[in-house]
Structure 1
Amino acid sequence: MNNSLPVVLVHGFWHGSWCWNPVVERLAARGVPSVAVDLEGHGLRGPAPRARWARPFDAASFATEPSPVAAVTASSAAAVLAEQIRTVGGGQPVLVVAHSMGGVVATAVAELVPELVAGLVYVSAFAPVSGAPAGYYNTCPENAGEMVSRHLAADPMVVGAARIDFGDPERRDQVKETFYNDVDDRTADATIALLSTDGPAGIPLEPLTVTQERYGSVPHAYVVCGRDNVIPATLQYRFVKEIDTVSATPTEVTELDCSHSPFLSQPDALAEAIVAAGRRGVRAG
């Protein structure tokens, strides 16, 4: 990969740009510039519901308060990400790496501004290219065994968000098993403390349309996480198969024996996969 080509790192639900720090360091060590961004409705762009901080904690209010990020959609988040990419790359193409629900937004961006996306690397990410919204895949047989839905503390259709109470100490072990089952305890605890409460429901609920001429012209790679309890590997491989129906070139697949969060548990291996994907698949700007 050309060392001058920037990499833009996109996180998933409940996370923020901070989760990519270990990978940013590893990419820098390999001479690869990278910038992690906050998606609309997340990180510095993600206000929390008031009920999250109320003391004493009121579970009923937490389950019913409308989300302050309920207006965020896949399209609005993609428009924000497109501007972030334009800023980072100075108007030139970048390599986009997207994790989990961030894959929905990155998919929309590759259709919206393919001229700014030199390549797209999914990391155990939703890639809804069939016309169905990402939320549809939650009901598919390939999603059997996922552990996320058990954590939801509110009806997403009521509050406008996938809401989880990450501050509940009794839930800590289950959260770790779901997202970070191969991450050391110290790092997992620090990460859980940083997680946002709400993932905007408008992102997985919006159907996306992609075309061979735009999205399909972007080279794709997919990092499959083999021990993932959020997006089972069987569903990840379904996404790969569906991407290949609209992509001009086959999706390059790398499998890591890891949880949903290789940016924490295997940052070196993930950095290597990103660099390799760039070398194999990045098109000229």
Structure 2
Amino acid sequence: MIPTFVFVHGSGSSAHAWSATQREMAARGHRTLALDLPGRGAGFTQAYHEQDLETFAAEPSAASGLTADDFTGEVVDAVQRVRHHGPVVLVAHSFGGLPVTAAANAIPELIDRVVYVAAQCPVERHPGEYPALPEWSSSDVFGAVAPLMIGDPARQGFVRTNWRGADRARRVALRDAIAGELTEEEFLRVVVTSQPDEVFWPTDPTWDSRADKDSWGRIPRTFVKLTKDRSMPLAAQELYIAEADALTPDNPFDVRELESSHAGFFPKPGPLAGILDDLSVRAAAGSR
């Protein structure tokens, strides 16, 4: 049977990020679904577009009321719906690894493979603790994004980022951290669709979505390492892999590599689609 690939985006992103990947996969004969996680569009207000920063800073956010269960539920619901049509391959990028891991803990029997594309895969600690580890120390993303943040996320209960307020120097820093191989014009298309508001999860105990050995651990899994990633350093990606493999040594990650930055593969999806194309054969075979 033909599998369905369910794509889950990262922080500050949306289903739109997967558009080129979906086109490439469709051209190869695959069925796909890209999710919008809860809160997409929050912060896209008149004040944000007009850069009325005083008004924008004072506006409430739908992201402040969202929970980990809201995010996990969105993934679970999607998997349950498409499972009626055959095998399911769940693909996560970056922060998307958290709700995907939680969903895999909840419904392992409905998922034929999980694919982490430089995605968070917490095993030994709360996901918010990983960025403080030495393996994350070379990340450029926190310093690049911090000047664009509005307010205190811990006090507000959500993260608000003024992507449109990035001047040329800050855009260069962002591009270097997130997608260094893109031209400035290509990166502007990323910035214009980036989500201003995001859920604040790093210190929230309800976001403790560690992989469970007896449920998540039963599912075949692939980790796609992004070898030029300056947001989630290669050492951090390899830590997730090592912890997961230690948890379930009889079901280790199938590890692949892409010569890409954290988001540079999105507009050039051929290599990732090639990996997923190969995995689709395994998913279809496993469902027979």
Q: What is the TM-score when the length of structure 2 is the normalising length?
A: 0.87
Which of 272, 277, 285 is equivalent to 2:279?
277
Q: Which residue of 1 aligns with 2:158?
A: 161
How many pairs align? 278
Structure-2 change in CA distance of 1:63 and 1:250 (3 Å): same
Structure 1 residues 1-285: aligned runs within 5 Å: 2=1, 4-42=2-40, 46-48=41-43, 53=48, 55=50, 57-58=52-53, 62=56, 66-90=60-84, 92-130=86-124, 132-150=125-143, 151-152=145-146, 153=149, 154-170=151-167, 171-202=170-201, 205=204, 206-247=207-248, 248-280=250-282, 283-284=286-287
Task: Determine if contact 2:126/2:210 at 8 Å carries over to the other structure.
Answer: no
The one-letter code sitting in structure 2 at the alignment partner of 1:38 is D
Deviates further, 208-217 or 4-13: 208-217
Structure-2 change in CA distance of 1:173 and 1:147 (3 Å): same
Deviates further, 223-232 or 200-209: 200-209
Structure-2 change in CA distance of 1:215 and 1:11 (3 Å): same
Deviates further, 81-90 or 65-74: 65-74
Task: Determine if contact 2:3/2:280 at 8 Å carries over to the other structure.
Answer: no
Task: Determine if contact 1:167/1:193 at 8 Å carries over to the other structure.
Answer: yes
Task: Determine if contact 2:44/2:195 at 8 Å carries over to the other structure.
Answer: no
SS at match of 2:164: coil
Q: Counterparts of 2:202 and 2:267 in 1: how far apart (Å)?
A: 27
Q: Counterparts of 1:265 and 1:30 in 2: how far apart (Å)?
A: 17
Shift of 1:134: 1.7
Task: Determine if contact 1:101/1:204 at 8 Å carries over to the other structure.
Answer: no
Q: What is the TM-score when the length of structure 1 is the normalising length?
A: 0.88
Q: Counterparts of 2:272 and 2:264 in 1: how far apart (Å)?
A: 6
Shift of 1:10: 0.7
Shift of 1:37: 1.0
Task: Determine if contact 2:224/2:257 at 8 Å carries over to the other structure.
Answer: yes
Q: Counterparts of 1:200 and 1:85 in 2: how far apart (Å)?
A: 22
Mark the runs of 5 or more structure 1 residues left unpaired by the alignment: none
Between the aligned residues of both structures, percent identity stands at: 26
Structure-2 change in CA distance of 1:69 and 1:203 (3 Å): farther
Structure-2 change in CA distance of 1:214 and 1:92 (3 Å): farther
Mark the runs of 5 or more structure 2 residues left unpaired by the alignment: none
Give the superposed CA RMSD: 2.3
**Deviating 4+ runs (over 6 angstroms):** none
Task: Determine if contact 1:120/1:218 at 8 Å carries over to the other structure.
Answer: yes
